[in-house]
Amino acid sequence: MKREAYCDTCRDETSHSLINPSRNLFRCEVCGSVVEIRPEKKIGIRAIISLDDRSERGKVELSRSEVVHRGQEIVVETKNGFRIGEITSIELKSGKRVEISKAEEIETVWLRDVGEVKVRISLHKGAVTTPYEIFTSGEVEFSVGEILPVEGRNYRITRIKLINGGLLKRDGEKAKAKEIRRVYARFIR
């Protein structure tokens, strides 16, 4: 195992190799000096993870000095198991909301479940638009021009509206389910 650490001899951050796991001893790969590097303690931080209109409390385990930021994906432990969430907001112990922070300063992280997401689809057939929803893995990709079979009918994806405000409308443009606000598809014969 290797890790970057400050070397007193080199007076710089250098690569260190683990030589004795039971005593946490590492050898500097530049000068060869040996140093004990204790693993940083983990802390539990309250987490609120949301999937559509449902929210669930949980916790995340982070090193005290670990820096987290809005948009980062982390694992959340809930009473129903582990889930993957994207940080949407960070609340400090002072009550202030920030975009980035060290773990030791955080009171609560708010997340959006990206392991399983609801994809909203507008199905157009003539002048009639029908709303439709599916639940899928956040990693599943949708592509403009792709054919969607829905209840025995085929629809071609014409546009994909993204959570960040973007709009995909050229054939072949793709987005993952966790990035999508709405998919627009037109009935094909």
Mean pLDDT of 17-36: 90
Among residues 80, 81, 175, 186, which one has the least CA distance to residue 119? 175
Task: Give yes or no for residue 37 having a pLDDT over 90.
Answer: no
Give the model's pLDDT for residue 155. 96
Give the pLDDT of residue 27.
93
Per-residue pLDDT tens digits for 46-86: 999 998 788 999 999 998 888 999 999 999 999 989 999 99
CATH architecture observed for domain 42-113: Roll (2.30)
The ranges assigned to domains in the chain are 2-36, 42-113, 117-188
pLDDT at 160: 97
pLDDT in tens, 104-159: 999 999 999 998 889 999 999 999 999 999 999 999 999 999 999 999 999 999 99
pLDDT for 78: 93
CA dist., res. 151 & res. 170, Å (int): 26
Q: Which long-range contacts (CB under 8 A, 24 or more apart) does 145-153 make?
A: 145/171, 145/172, 147/188, 148/121, 148/183, 148/185, 150/121, 150/123, 150/185, 153/125, 153/187
